[in-house]
Amino acid sequence: MIKVYNTLTRRKEEFVPLKAGEASIYCCGVTPYNEPHIGNARPFVTWDVIRRHLARRGFKVRYIQNFTDVDDKIINAARVDGSDWKTIADRYITRYFAAMDALNVKRADVYPRVSETIPDIVGMIDGLISSGHAYTVEGGDVYFSVENFAGYGKLSRRSLEDMEAGARVEVNDNKRHPMDFALWKAAKPGEPSWQSPWGKGRPGWHIECSAMSLKFLGEKFDFHGGGSDLIFPHHENEIAQSQAYLDDESAFARYFLHNGFITIRNEKMSKSLNNFFTVADVLKEFSGETLRFYILQTHYRSPLDFSEERMTEAKAALTRLRHTAEQIKMFAGREGNGNNAGQLADTAAKLSADFDEAMDDDFNSALAIGYMFDLSKKINAYCQSVTDGGEFDAVNFAKATTVFAEMASVIGIFEQEENAAATSINDDLAAKLMDIIITLRQRARQEKNWPIADEIRDRLKDVGVVIKDTKNGAVWERR
C-alpha cells in the first residue's frame, strides 16, 4: 500500500489511483527567465524518483510538466537582454533541460507551454465568465471572483477574512474583492499578446496549469506537485479555477504533494533573495549525481540546507555506494559453484522489501537509501571474502546484486557512467595508458623499488587518478 502526505487533508493517506494501475501526475514546471537554481531542481528530482517508484510498483505513469513561458519576469528579462520573450524562454528552457540531464531526471511525457495553449486558456476563461466566476473590467483585464467560489482557501487552510487581515494585498480599485486574481491581462505596448474576446492580452499566472492539466490529464487526475511556496496562491487558485469551471468540487488533483525548500544558512533560497546557487554553479565542483543524491538523502518534505560541507558529505557517501557498484561489475560474469552466499541473498531480499516499504511510505528516499547502505556493506564483505580466497556463489551473488541494481535505478544513480564512458573517445586510450603505467609500477614494486612506485602513485594522484593496490593487482579510478 502506497501512502502519501496530502496537503489537502494534512495527513498521510492511502494512494488509491483514479484508474486502476495508472498514475497521472501534473508537476508545476519553471518560468524560464533565469538559470535554474538548485531549489528549482528539488521538486523535479523528487518527482523523478516518485515516478520511478510508481513504475516499479506496476503503475503506468503519465507525467506532465509545464513551462510558463509567458510571464512578466520573462518580459522583463527580454527587455534587459535586448531580445524578445521567445528568445529568453527558449534559452532558459534549454538550460533547464541541461540541468535535468545532469541530474539524471527523466523527461516528462509532455511539456506544454503557455504560448502553445492559449486557445484552451481563453476557452476556460470564457467559461468562467459565463458561469459568473469571473468578470471583465475596464481596460480588458479579467479577474477570478474568489467570493463566488465557496471552497476558496481549502488547500492553504485560510479564510478570505484571514487573508485580508494580512493587509498585504495590492490595492486595485478595479477588483471586486482584494483577493481576486487575474485570469487575463490586457496587452501593454511592447508585450506579447494574443487575441481574445476581451481584447488583446495574455494569460495571468495561474490559469495555465488549470488549462493544461485539463487538456492533458482530464478533469481529474491523481497527483499535483511543486514546492510548498506554491500552495498559496498558485495551487489554491488552480483549484478554484478548475473546480469552478467544471462545476465539480471533486475535479482537479486528488493528492497534493509539496516539497520543502532548499535553504542557505537556514534561509529559503530564492531568486528574489538572490541567495541561490544555480545547478551550473554546483556542477563546477560536484557531479550532478552527487547533487541528486544529496537531495534524496533527505525526505522531500523536510527543509534541506545547502552548503559545500553537506555536498562533500554526500559525495563521500555516494562514493561508498559506487564502490559497491564497481565491485559488482568486477564480479560480473565470473563463474562459481559455491554455496556460501545464501544468507547474502536472503538479506538482500529482506532489504529489498524494506526499501520498497520505505518508498511506499510517502516516498521516504532517505530511509530507503539507508537500506541501500546496509546492502552495500553486506555485498562488500562478501566480495572481500571471495577476494581473500573464499568460494564464489555466482547464483546467490547475482540475486543480491540484482537487488542493489534495482535500488540504484529507483534512486536514479549509477546510470550515467556507462553512457559517459561509451561516448568518450579518450577513455579507451586512457585505459591502455593506465595499463602500461600500472604494469611498470608493478615491476618496480616487485623489485621493492618503493620510491619509484610511490612517485608514480603520487604523481597520478596529482592529476586526479587514484591507485589502489589490491590482492588481485592494482586498480585505478578518477577522482
Partner RNA sequence: GGCGACAUAGCCAAGCGGUAAGGUCGAGGUCUGCAAAACCUUUAUCCCCGGUUCGACUCCGGGUGUCGCCUCCA
In the window 274-333, what residues touch RNA (CB under 7 A)? 297-299, 302-305, 309-310, 313-314, 316-317, 319-320, 323
How many residues comprise the chain?
A: 479
CA Rg, the chain, in Å?
27
User: How many CA atoms within 13 Å lie on the side-chain side of 265?
Assistant: 3
Residues binding RNA: number (CB under 7 A): 85
Question: Strand 252-259's sheet: what is its strand order?
Answer: 60-65, 22-27, 220-227, 252-259
Q: Pick the closer one to RNA by CB: 158 or 215.
A: 158
CB atoms within 10 A of CB 139: 11
Which amino acid is present at 478? R
Q: Which three cell numbers stand for residue 317?
A: 557517501
x-or-dash string of contact with RNA, 188-227, rule CB under 7 A: -----------------x--------------------xx
Residue 85 CB, nearest approach to RNA (Å): 15
Q: Which of residues 397-426 bind RNA (CB under 7 A)?
A: none
Report how far residue 79's alpha carbon sits from residue 88's, in angstroms, rounded to the nearest whole number: 10
- Judged by CB under 7 A, which of 87, 193, 263, 402 binds RNA? 263
332's CB contacts (< 8 A; 6+ apart) are 401
344's CB contacts (< 8 A; 6+ apart) are 378, 379, 382, 393, 396, 397, 400
Residue 127 CB, nearest approach to RNA (Å): 23
Work out whether 42 is an interface residue with RNA (CB under 7 A): yes
Report how far residue 383's alpha carbon sits from residue 375's, in angstroms, rounded to the nearest whole number: 12
Q: Which of residues 345-364 bind RNA (CB under 7 A)?
A: 358, 361-362, 364
Q: Which of residues 421-460 bind RNA (CB under 7 A)?
A: 445, 450, 453-454, 457
Q: Which of residues 9-38 bind RNA (CB under 7 A)?
A: 10, 28, 30-31
Q: Pick the closer one to RNA by CB: 39 or 126.
A: 39
Report how far residue 129's alpha carbon sits from residue 125's, in angstroms, rounded to the nearest whole number: 6
Which amino acid is present at 132? G
Q: Which of residues 371-400 bind RNA (CB under 7 A)?
A: 371, 373-374, 376-377, 380-381, 384
- Judged by CB under 7 A, which of 232, 283, 402, 465 binds RNA? 232
Q: Residues 114, 66: contact at Cβ < 8 Å?
A: yes
- Judged by CB under 7 A, which of 49, 257, 291, 369 binds RNA? 369
Q: Pick the closer one to RNA by CB: 11 or 60.
A: 11
Q: Pick the closer one to RNA by CB: 426 or 472.
A: 472
Q: Which three cell numbers stand for residue 290?
A: 552527487
Q: Which of residues 152-181 bind RNA (CB under 7 A)?
A: 156-158, 162-163, 165-166, 168-170, 179
Residue 228 CB, nearest approach to RNA (Å): 6
CB burial class (10 A; 0-12, 13-18, 19+) of residue 276? buried
Q: Pick the closer one to RNA by CB: 345 or 358.
A: 358
x-or-dash string of contact with RNA, 101-140, rule CB under 7 A: ----------------------------------------
Q: Pick the closer one to RNA by CB: 137 or 366.
A: 366
Question: Which SS3 state, helix, strand or coil, does residue 214 take?
Answer: helix
Question: Which SS3 state, helix, strand or coil, does residue 363 take?
Answer: coil
CA 422 remoteness from chain centre: 25
